[in-house]
Structure 1
Amino acid sequence: MIDNGIKYLGYFTALILALLVLLVVYDATARYLFSTGSIALQELEWHLFDVIILFGIAYTLKENAHVRVDIFYATYSEKTKVIVNIISSLFFILPFSFLIIYIGIDFVALSFSQNEASSNPGGLEYRFLVKALLPLSFAFLALVAFKDLKSNYIKWKSL
């Protein structure tokens, strides 16, 4: 269930990326050919980029495409790889995810209570919506890390 949910999150992120590309092309064309532009559109580009990065984190971990020092990892035995993955999940990914979720909830609540908006004239309102992606994305990351932890533990016991 977690894998399917994160897979669809990856599809959603890919759709957002396509929208971002179209928006950037439109914005650049309008700015350079017609000498017009919109602060709101530029901020929307930033917000869409936030969605891509934050939701892409969990998808990348699910696909095992995250950055690590592969020159060492590639030479490890299967058992050592599993142990490294277990330690990474237990001591790095999960604690960091829980910290971001814990801090992020207050961060979003404060933004919501202040009805935070862009300080730029013509900018976007409801900034708390984008800020809400921070704890949400790390909740997705924690789910994937738990799933990986469980599967790596089962694999470790069978080795």
Structure 2
Amino acid sequence: MKLIDSLTRYISFFTAFIMAALVVLVVYDATLRYLFSEGSTALQELQWHFFDVVILLSIAYTLKHNAHVRVDIFYDKFSRKKQLTVNLLAYIFFILPFAFLIIYISLSFVEMSFAQNEASSDPGGLPYRWIVKSLIPLSFGLVVLQTIKEIVTDFQEWRSL
């Protein structure tokens, strides 16, 4: 379980670095466009790709820190055992099936992109779009790992109550 938490933590460091690079890219691109009337399709697409990295690779981290969206109006009033029961049911019946479905569907999507050597359709755009698309099954694989870790730890706590 510590291995999964460590993996999620290290990936969060990577996404924080990508987020900082994204901020620099946006400032650079805005400066070029507004002060020098210069623009780059590749630079704009790189910003979108960095944003994809941040969003997709942060899902497991969000789950780890229990920062995901929930209807807290009811959840906060539950006892700790009921909260853990809701968590376990959500993990088993919603998050895991959804994550496996996304992985299953996205693998052929990535495979087709790789086989076609998909690139941007815009002139001056970036090649190798399959790299960004491969983040979809990767990120949901990380969600599966983090969900399994959460199931184990929440079940242990639930049993001890």
Specify the TM-score bucket, using the shorter chain as the normaliser. Answer: over 0.9
Q: 2:131 aligns with which of 114, 126, 129?
A: 129
Letter in 1 for 2:95: I
The aligned amino acid for 1:72 is F
Deviations 1:5-53 (A, max 9, x none): 1001111111110000000000000000000010000000000000010
Provide the residue aligned with 1:72 in structure 2: 74
User: Matches of residues 1-159 of structure 1 in structure 2 within 5 Å?
Assistant: 1-159=3-161
TM normalised by structure 1 equals 0.98
Q: Deviations over 1:83-138 (max 9, x none)?
A: 00000100111000000111111110000000000000000000000000000000
CA RMSD of aligned residues (A): 0.6
In structure 1, C-alpha distance between the alignment counterparts of 2:104 and 2:67, rounded to whole Å: 26
Residue segments in structure 2 that go unaligned for 5+ positions in a row? none
Q: Deviations over 1:57-82 (max 9, x none)?
A: 11100111111111211111000000
Whichever residue aligns with residue 30 of structure 2, its letter is A
Q: Helix, strand or coil: the match of 2:69?
A: coil
Residue correspondences, number: 159
Using the alignment, how far apart are the partners of 2:72 and 2:10 within structure 1? 27
What runs of 5+ residues in structure 1 fail to find an aligned partner? none
